[in-house]
Structure 1
Amino acid sequence: MTHSHLDQRILPETGRLPYALYRAEQVQRFDHLASGYFGIPERELMERAGASAYRFLRQRWPDARHLCVLTGIGNNGGDGYVLARLARGEGCTVDLIQVGDPQRLQGPAAESRDAYCAAGGKVDIWSGSLPRGLDLCVDALFGTGLTRPVGDPFAAAIAALNEQQAPILALDLPSGLHADTGEVMGIAARVTATISFIALKLGLFVGSGPEYRGEVQFSGLGVPARLYASEIAAAVRSDWARASTLLPHRSPLMHKGDCGHVLIIGGAPGMAGAVRLAGEAALRAGAGLVTIATHPRHADWLNLARPELMVQGVMDARDLEPLSARADVIAIGPGLGQDAWGRGLWEKVCTLAHPLVVDADALNLLAASPMNGPDWLLTPHPGEAARLLGVSTAEVQRDRVVAAQTLQAHFGGVIVLKGAGSIVQANPPRRPVVCSQGNPGMATAGMGDVLTGIIAALRAQGLAAEDAACAGVCLHAAAGDRAAASGERGLIASDLIAELRTLADGQDAVL
């Protein structure tokens, strides 16, 4: 499998989410092509969108009989009018609330409103509250065009949506969420499910998208597959079902030397756990040999519970020379610290020619003395990314894709910007890869150390840096999701290690 596998142009697939992610302006061009070049009238696309959403609604909430549909003043509102008409036609009680000046509805959206009214539907103007006793709310306020903070009356309507207890279905995008960055534009609807039309929007999977979007469904609205050839996706979504295909085949004749030797450097006094987690994760992700270079104070007992790890105490950089000579890949940072001991080891590693995985305190040392490395893989969380770029964490989170691309431009190699919707960015024109798995239970100490070990192990087994990053991030997230089956709260990093063996062996790739 070549390293280009995850960068192919992916078309929507029936029955599951497509892998291509697009920005708002690209989706708008798709809309124009569908009607202008392929001859599908805008009103027909709106009818298909409303019908697709209603079909999903009936499948997801078959017992819902009392609906509230909040419509805005654009085409997203028109989709809501179609859904409301169909729901009334099947005997549902529908409270349709128009937010914003109804006279601003134009074209197909106005036609859809008129069709709803002609079928006996009533339009209520937003008065500051929602009806009681609802089974379901439909968010049809904003689509992909939102570029500024939400103001009233829309902000008040979104707040009311979030305060009521019924599930919420968003049409195309949760209202208030930026379609490209996943940034909350002042306020956003926190929905139960989102059905995205024609193309998946990047903002659903980055920034705050994973927090607000709920379950994601997709409908291509029956547009021709040729339409997608007009745009190169802004990013590529990945998951373990897809990334597991990157793992190398294992010959029956392989021995441990064929599976790579990982050297993991870290573990200052008081921080031995970080390097131990990374080492065990590397073993479980398939590395043939793992050596830990750590502070002599705890080297003698670090591998008591995992004797397969080789542990060597190192006092200074000179002690690294014989260890690095035997290694295929070096991972540095877990528990390294930033004092003279850790700094000396970091400076030595920077002179070596090995492929590197750089994490934790090694990233902080890099931020203090920036340099560009052609064959390293940096794995910052948002705070570390902010220090590397000299900006605030909020600025990093405001547009995580741009932050990952800026990091790659400044520091070279491959970047893994960790967090919900972890992003892998290799050298352009490689597109960002966004992991769509993982869960909030993984927000706990040691998770990054486990990821470092996984990526280093995959790199040592022969994967190119980008592939090791993509596969490692998705394997880590899939293991987190399996471990969270017993509960997210209280999930700890070592719980993931127990899941790696089955997943990394290619079993149960589809979760």
Structure 2
Amino acid sequence: MSVRSLPGRLYSAEQTRELDRLAGEAGLSGEQLMERAGRAAFELLVQRWPDLSRPAILCGGGNNGGDGYVIARLALEAGLAPVVYQDKPVEEMHGDALTMARRARDAGVPMRPLSLDCLPEDAPVLVDALLGTGLAGPLREDKRALIQALDDLRKPVLAVDVPSGLAADSGASTGAVLRARCTITYIGVNRGLLTGIGPVCTGELLFDDLGVEARVHDAIAAPVWRPAPADLARWLPRRAPDGYKKTYGHVLVIGGDHGFGGAPMMTAQGAGHAGAGLVSLATRSEHVAPLLARQPEIMARAVDGVADLAPLLEQATVVAVGPGLGRDAWGRALLEAALDSGLPLVVDADALTLIAEWGVDARDDWVLTPHPGEAARLLGSDTGAVQADRFAAVESLAARYGGTALLKGLGTLVRGAEGTALISDGNPGMGSGGMGDLLTGVIAALRAQGLAPYRAAALGAMAHARAADRAAARDGERGLLATDLLMDLRRELNDY
């Protein structure tokens, strides 16, 4: 099962444990779930590596290790020659994991203690059933050294539930992570698998619900969800037969100080291709002619100061401010005017840095779109702290500044009035200049068409990422430019 077909709900580690408990109440015992999990992982193992004969199964002492012992037993029954590397002796295990370990031992699975002196150096494939989702806090030094040594073997790895060393709640490393070629997870998908370094360490992510009924999932309110094209169909208004340009809103883009005309132009193009009825651009006079030559539908205006901006603000529905704005007197004055206008705002780039410097009051009608460095400035923190717990960072941004906060990066997060969204679409080709400027315009256009800030941000980020996936699938990731997304973005917002 591919990432795109994963469930829409994402859970914390505590919530997935509650799902296990509720599944038990619904009639599925822990032993049954462990057998099903182990079988699903074993079937994936032989599917991905059909010529495999000697898998090494790394088993911890908890339920994750129990899944590993099931895999080892099934491998032996299938005629393979598995070897279990134990992090804890069978005699020290408990519950269902102990039952599965005894069954594997009684079936004749060879077992060795796992240590720095006993690593599976000759095994062609590793099955990681060591730590699972129960890991809390930094790894002890001995565990960190062991996981690092295993990762240094550079073996293909199938991870069970979560790569060992990855924090299931935050998607951060707890000291070292055993990176996987693919990961299979069960019943509920942990949110940390899809943000931070989670996708890097997880590899291909697959899901099996183990036959748990939907009503079990309905019993838990998942605070994190993955937007899907179906949400566009539910929330984005369809075009009325008698609609005209003013029906779909007027986006005003403010930015483009001397030498930075391209950034706001991409924002304006993003707004136009995402469906805004009218798009204006307030910028420096030297940018007007080249910008009109590139996209004549954009109403580019020379703005030398606040007096020139005032009539444009009077006509606008939504303001997108920040791309190429600069931090000098011109940009500062225009940002102040935008903040004082009372219009809904989408705020990016230099405007975020100025807001962090000024310490402005919270407001409900804006969307802030920082990358991790800008988020750190807004929170008075540092980039490392933001990336160590991206969920906590985006929640702090929304709490401090109000409205909706969108934290860019691998597994973009959106926090607002309706909860937290995680964008799992997108690809490495998006690591090029202008992608964020384009996104700002998309969100502003959706706001102009009537979507609330949170929905505009979540669906805009999803559509933007999926457009990048379309473009990369057609022409490749390397060399992907922001403006390459424009027609794919239009298709993405119409295909639903």
TM-score scaled by length of structure 2 = 0.94
Amino acid at match of 1:261: H
Question: Does the aligned pair in 2 maintain the 1:68–1:97 contact within 8 Å?
Answer: yes
Residue correspondences, number:
492
Mapped to 1, the partners of 2:427 and 2:136 lie a distance apart of: 28
Query: Which has the larger share of helix?
Result: 2
Alignment of 1:408-427 (within 5 A): 408-427=398-417
1:470 alignment partner in structure 2: 458
Mapped to 2, the partners of 1:300 and 1:48 lie a distance apart of: 65
CA shift, 1:244, in A, is 5.5
Question: Does the aligned pair in 1 maintain the 2:90–2:102 contact within 8 Å?
Answer: no
Mapped to 2, the partners of 1:91 and 1:103 lie a distance apart of: 27
1:8 alignment partner in structure 2: none
1:180 alignment partner in structure 2: 169
Amino acid at match of 1:38: A
1:298 matched to 2:287: yes
Alignment of 1:201-220 (within 5 A): 201-220=190-209
- Choose which of 210, 218, 230 in structure 2 pairs with 1:221: 210
- Choose which of 375, 387, 390 in structure 2 pairs with 1:397: 387
Question: Does the aligned pair in 1 maintain the 2:90–2:101 contact within 8 Å?
Answer: no
Question: Does the aligned pair in 2 maintain the 1:404–1:424 contact within 8 Å?
Answer: yes
Give me the CA root mean square deviation: 2.1
CA shift, 1:155, in A, is 2.9
SS class of match (1:424):
strand
1:259 matched to 2:229: no
1:24 alignment partner in structure 2: 13
Mapped to 1, the partners of 2:409 and 2:96 lie a distance apart of: 40
Alignment of 1:188-207 (within 5 A): 188-207=177-196
Q: For residues 120-167 of structure 1, give each alpha carbon's deviation from its aligned partner in whole angstroms, at most 9, with x where no partner exists.
A: 211111243544564432110011110122235533442244233442
SS class of match (2:38):
helix
Mapped to 1, the partners of 2:5 and 2:332 lie a distance apart of: 48
1:384 matched to 2:374: yes
Mapped to 1, the partners of 2:26 and 2:493 lie a distance apart of: 44
2:444 alignment partner in structure 1: 456
CA shift, 1:440, in A, is 2.0
Amino acid at match of 1:418: K
- Choose which of 421, 426, 449 in structure 2 pairs with 1:433: 421
CA shift, 1:354, in A, is 1.4
1:375 matched to 2:377: no
Return 5+ residue gaps in structure 1 as ranges.
1-11
Question: Does the aligned pair in 1 maintain the 2:379–2:397 contact within 8 Å?
Answer: yes
Distance 1:59 1:386, change over 3 A: same
SS class of match (2:287):
helix
Q: For residues 464-487 of structure 1, give each alpha carbon's deviation from its aligned partner in whole angstroms, at most 9, with x where no partner exists.
A: 211111110001111121222233
* Worse-matched range after superposition: 496-505 or 66-75: 496-505
- Choose which of 319, 323, 332 in structure 1 pairs with 2:308: 319
Amino acid at match of 2:72: A
CA shift, 1:218, in A, is 1.4
Question: Does the aligned pair in 1 maintain the 2:284–2:303 contact within 8 Å?
Answer: yes
Distance 1:175 1:38, change over 3 A: same
SS class of match (2:292):
coil
SS class of match (2:272):
helix
Q: For residues 192-226 of structure 1, give each alpha carbon's deviation from its aligned partner in whole angstroms, at most 9, with x where no partner exists.
A: 11111121111112222122111111122222332
CA shift, 1:229, in A, is 3.3
Q: For residues 220-241 of structure 1, give each alpha carbon's deviation from its aligned partner in whole angstroms, at most 9, with x where no partner exists.
A: 2222332223321131122445
* Worse-matched range after superposition: 66-75 or 240-249: 240-249
Mapped to 1, the partners of 2:362 and 2:437 lie a distance apart of: 23
Amino acid at match of 1:234: P
Mapped to 2, the partners of 1:149 and 1:328 lie a distance apart of: 48
SS class of match (1:238):
coil
Question: Does the aligned pair in 1 maintain the 2:86–2:111 contact within 8 Å?
Answer: yes
* Worse-matched range after superposition: 222-231 or 331-340: 222-231
1:4 alignment partner in structure 2: none
Mapped to 2, the partners of 1:313 and 1:199 lie a distance apart of: 53
Distance 1:244 1:64, change over 3 A: farther
2:77 alignment partner in structure 1: 89
1:5 alignment partner in structure 2: none
CA shift, 1:184, in A, is 0.4
Distance 1:248 1:62, change over 3 A: farther
CA shift, 1:16, in A, is 3.3
Q: Percent identity?
A: 46
SS class of match (1:432):
strand
1:489 alignment partner in structure 2: 478
CA shift, 1:321, in A, is 1.4
Distance 1:60 1:25, change over 3 A: same
Question: Does the aligned pair in 2 maintain the 1:84–1:94 contact within 8 Å?
Answer: yes
1:116 matched to 2:104: yes
Q: For residues 229-267 of structure 1, give each alpha carbon's deviation from its aligned partner in whole angstroms, at most 9, with x where no partner exists.
A: 332113112244544543221133322222221110000
CA shift, 1:88, in A, is 1.6
Mapped to 2, the partners of 1:502 and 1:312 lie a distance apart of: 29
- Choose which of 490, 493, 496 in structure 2 pairs with 1:501: 490
Amino acid at match of 2:470: R
Q: For residues 312-358 of structure 1, give each alpha carbon's deviation from its aligned partner in whole angstroms, at most 9, with x where no partner exists.
A: 01000111111112211110000001100000000111111211111
1:42 matched to 2:14: no
1:276 matched to 2:236: no
SS class of match (2:148):
helix
SS class of match (2:46):
helix
Q: For residues 1-47 of structure 1, give each alpha carbon's deviation from its aligned partner in whole angstroms, at most 9, with x where no partner exists.
A: xxxxxxxxxxx99x931111111112222223333x23432222211
Mapped to 2, the partners of 1:392 and 1:101 lie a distance apart of: 42
Mapped to 1, the partners of 2:476 and 2:147 lie a distance apart of: 30
CA shift, 1:78, in A, is 0.7
Question: Does the aligned pair in 2 maintain the 1:261–1:288 contact within 8 Å?
Answer: yes
SS class of match (1:377):
strand
CA shift, 1:97, in A, is 1.1
Mapped to 2, the partners of 1:241 and 1:479 lie a distance apart of: 15
SS class of match (1:262):
strand
- Choose which of 42, 45, 51 in structure 1 pairs with 2:39: 51
Mapped to 1, the partners of 2:115 and 2:72 lie a distance apart of: 19
Mapped to 1, the partners of 2:413 and 2:254 lie a distance apart of: 24
Amino acid at match of 2:408: K
SS class of match (1:500):
helix
Alignment of 1:94-109 (within 5 A): 94-109=82-97
Q: For residues 97-140 of structure 1, give each alpha carbon's deviation from its aligned partner in whole angstroms, at most 9, with x where no partner exists.
A: 11245443222112111111211211111243544564432110
Question: Does the aligned pair in 2 maintain the 1:202–1:234 contact within 8 Å?
Answer: no
1:442 matched to 2:430: yes
* Worse-matched range after superposition: 232-241 or 352-361: 232-241
Distance 1:478 1:84, change over 3 A: same
